[in-house]
Amino acid sequence: MKKLLFITSLLIISFGCKLDSLKTDNPEKRQEKVNDFAIIIHGGAGTILKKNMSDEKEAAYKAKLTEAIKTGHSILKNGGTSQEAVLKTIQVMEESPLFNAGKGAVFTHEETNELDASFMDGKTLNAGAVAGVKNVKSPIELAIKIMTDSDHVMLSGEGASTFAKEKGLEIVAPNYFYTEKRFQSLQRIKNRNKTELDHDDKKAAFYDADIKNAKFGTVGCVALDKNGNIAAGTSTGGMTNKRWGRIGDAPIIGSGTYANNKTCGVSSTGWGEYFIRSQVAYDISAQMEYQQKSLKNATKDVIQNKLTKLGGTGGVVALDKNGNMAFEFNTAGMYRASMNDAGELILKIYKE
């Protein structure tokens, strides 16, 4: 009888401990998918204010963001891969002069356009990146080609262009990237810096306050396909008036782009130096993996707490393995959009 009571007691204790474990277990571990596939994009974050935006210009941004995200969503809906969705979505924005990527890239101090991009596959953790190219029409396509067709992760400058030519990517004349609006922006900044710094050593001239607070038009996309694979990509022209071959966060895996099927995918936009120092994209994934944080809490902590305390401005779009999506930024606005598996579109520009 005593033996029976002892066994019964053990069973009760064991069952009770299991119940307690279920109660205290992180809900993220038990969460089911909210979307079988999904896509989220950004077109840059910064001082984007309604009062400075004409109705015509606002409509143009919304139309292009809608075109871009629907391009990727259609691919995912029809069973395409997240890699293809990210590529085609970003290419729509690279070919628009509205964004600081591809055709609309900003100018360097030397009055050239130097383009950066990166891509990461969440299933394999393979990645590709390119920095400082001047004649490749689609930097995001080149980043993916580096991932798939080379033993390297990052190529830069003339070497990257040579690789692109060898792989049959479209090469354009450097003036393809010329837009009058971007060129005039450079002239205003150079003229102001010359006036303000004539009697100074001109150190860090391109890091002035206006540059810090101006909008950054970097574009990015994160997608989850029906096979559960996450991909993320980012493309940019960098910072207006950048010098000395400056490279920002966009081509840096872990800073501007990160994807891991165990956690999430992230694409960043903002003042790149701070995103590099903070390893923003990877930090979000790491908090989810090691601290069991939700996507919402991880992105909020990194952007609103850690990045802000360091002095960094910008934001991210992110999407987790369950199809949850997040926009997070600490600036006045961010061009952004998302679509879930039901085809519901969220399209926003300003802080709300």
How much is the pLDDT for 292? 97
At 33 the pLDDT is 86
For the question of whether the overall pTM of this predicted structure is more than 0.85, the answer is yes
Q: What percent of the chain has pLDDT over 90?
A: 81
- Torsion angles phi and psi, residue 223, rounded to 5: -135, 145
Domain boundaries of the chain, sorted by first residue: 36-350
Query: Would you say residue 195 has pLDDT above 90?
Result: no
Q: Identify whether the C-beta of residue 257 lies closer than 8 Å to the C-beta of residue 90.
A: no
Tell me how far CA of residue 120 lies from CA of 38, 58, 101, 264, 285, in angstroms: 17, 31, 18, 11, 13
Contact 68, 41 (CB under 8 A): yes
pLDDT of the residue at 215: 44
- Residues present in the chain in total: 352
Under the banding of pLDDT at 50, 70 and 90, the label for residue 108 is very high
Residue 106: strand pairing partners: none
- In single-letter form, the type of residue at position 291 comes to Q
DSSP string, 284-341: HHHHHHHS---HHHHHHIIIIIIIHHHT--EEEEEEETTS-EEEEESSSEEEEEEE-T
At residue 340, the pLDDT reads 98
pLDDT in tens, 126-185: 999 999 999 999 999 999 999 999 999 999 999 999 999 999 999 999 999 999 999 999
pLDDT at residue 26, rounded to an integer: 52
Using CA atoms, how far apart are residues 275 and 295, in angstroms rounded to an integer?
A: 18
CA distances for 54 relative to 49, 50, 60, 333, 335, angstroms: 10, 8, 10, 15, 15
- Report the candidate in 347, 348, 297, 295 with the shortest Cα–Cα distance to residue 323: 295
Catalytic residue numbers read 218
Instruction: List, in order, residues 6 or more apart from 174 with CB less than 8 Å away.
Output: 112, 113, 134, 135
Q: Average pLDDT for residues 122-126, to the nearest whole number? A: 98
Q: Which amino acid appears at position 31 of this protein? A: Q
* Per-residue pLDDT reduced to its tens digit, 245-271: 999 999 999 999 999 999 999 999 999
Please give the pLDDT value at position 352: 78
Minimum mean pLDDT range among 7-11, 185-189, 270-274: 7-11
**What pLDDT is stored for residue 250 in this prediction?**
97
The mean-pLDDT minimum among 5-19, 45-59, 218-232, 233-247 falls in 5-19
Write the CATH number of the domain with boundaries 36-350.
3.60.20.30
Structure tokens at 284: 């979000």
